[in-house]
Amino acid sequence: MRSFRPLSAIALACVVLTTACGAEIQEASKNAAGGSVTVTNCGAPLTVDGVPERVVTNDTGITEMMLALGLTDRLVGYTSYPGKERDIATSPWRAEFERVPPLGDAFTREVVQAAAPDFVFAGWNYGFKESTGLTPDWVRSIGAVPYQLTEACRQPGTTRRGVMEPLDALYADLLNLGEIFDVRAKADQLVAQYRAQVAEAAEGAPAGKDPARVFLFDSATPEPFTSGRTAAPSQIIRKAGGTNIFDDLNDSWTTTSWEAAAQRDPQAIVVVDYGAGPQNSVQAKIDQLRAQPLMAGTTAVREDNIIALPYAALVESPRNPRAVVTVAGFLRSKGY
């Protein structure tokens, strides 16, 4: 049974100033009999009756949100992608991962239904896809509650993703999960800690200098896949004192062109470390950048201003604040 607790000062500020904090927690309808709670998820009310007990997640960053909130025992399994071992090996919650059953690399109807969940946490292109039929509506059809990753919320009337600043999306999800799983105090603590961490990193940017131009390089098949304004790397870079060269793209993770990337002459490059096989290693991606005729002449490649971060640090996850600190330290070391 849920007990009602007054909102902390941080939580109250986030309820009142939703555009600043990103979280929009509705007045929850809690009672001794039902223990229901209503939050806002992707712009719509989501009501959950009782604390979920059997949770399935997709992707390492999403799973780490549950682990960071101390909800390991609620997880009956997670799916991820080939190469996820790199994320788990570097995870602050590595020990907790060992306690959660891995459900393989395929987030499918069959896998999800076999786990008999009452709550499924994924996002558009982070598991939810019309092409596979595994959508929030389908999750409801099997009697479970679908929760959508806020970074991947679709913009109204489009399939473009991202409806708020990426770090605000992280805070919104943590606060929502805190309400749903009755661990609001822990959620408040994490959000306050993360905000302070990001603020400290942002204060270290040198005054009187233009922000370093930074290119986020995920992969190329054959055109580069990168971060637009509404994906986590864009705000990570911005808070670290740089500027994402594709911050003008009103989308999340998206494909662009080598011509566009080279024309913007990045001064630093952040490589996403993920993928199975040697062809997807960090070194392979760096070699690809050096071999690409247009990119070879950019400042970042010529001066070897390249850093790699784990995939789970660059999608929405509780690793994002530490990623800000890491990127900030890297830019300072290069004189930016």
- The reported pTM is 0.89
Instruction: Tell me the residue range of the domain where 100 lies.
Output: 9-197
191-212 pLDDT, tens digit per residue, is 999 999 999 998 877 888 899 9
Contact 315, 61 (CB under 8 A): yes
Higher pLDDT, 168 or 221: 168
SS3 state of residue 57: strand
Look at residues 165, 197, 229 and tell me which one is the last residue of a structural domain. 197
SS3 state of residue 218: coil
List CB contacts of 242: < 8 A, sequence separation 6 or more.
211, 212, 213, 214, 268, 327, 331, 336
| pLDDT attached to residue 26 | 42
Q: Is there a single domain that holds both residue 168 and residue 268?
A: no
| pLDDT attached to residue 5 | 32
| pLDDT attached to residue 204 | 78
- pLDDT range class, residue 21, cuts 50, 70, 90: very low
- Out of 50-64, 263-277, 295-309, pick the least confident: 263-277
Residue 87 clears pLDDT 90, i.e. is over it: yes
| pLDDT attached to residue 4 | 27
Look at residues 174, 197, 220 and tell me which one is the last residue of a structural domain. 197
The dihedral through the CA atoms of 136, 310, 98, 169 has a sign that is negative
Look at residues 197, 217, 252 and tell me which one is the last residue of a structural domain. 197
| pLDDT attached to residue 55 | 98
Q: Which two tokens stand for residue 4?
A: 């009602």
Average pLDDT over residues 26-37: 54
| pLDDT attached to residue 25 | 41
Average pLDDT over residues 217-241: 96
SS3 state of residue 141: helix
Q: Is there a single domain that holds both residue 179 and residue 63?
A: yes
Contact 232, 166 (CB under 8 A): yes
Q: Is there a single domain that holds both residue 249 and residue 233?
A: yes
Residue position matching structure tokens 């005729």: 293
| pLDDT attached to residue 269 | 98
CB count within 10 Å of CB 5 equals 11
DSSP label at 161? B
Q: Torsions phi, psi of 182, nearest 5?
A: 60, 40
Q: How many structural domains comprise the chain?
A: 2
276-286 pLDDT, tens digit per residue, is 788 889 999 99
Residue 129 clears pLDDT 80, i.e. is over it: yes
Q: Is there a single domain that holds both residue 136 and residue 211?
A: no
Q: Is there a single domain that holds both residue 59 and residue 172?
A: yes
Residue 28 clears pLDDT 70, i.e. is over it: no
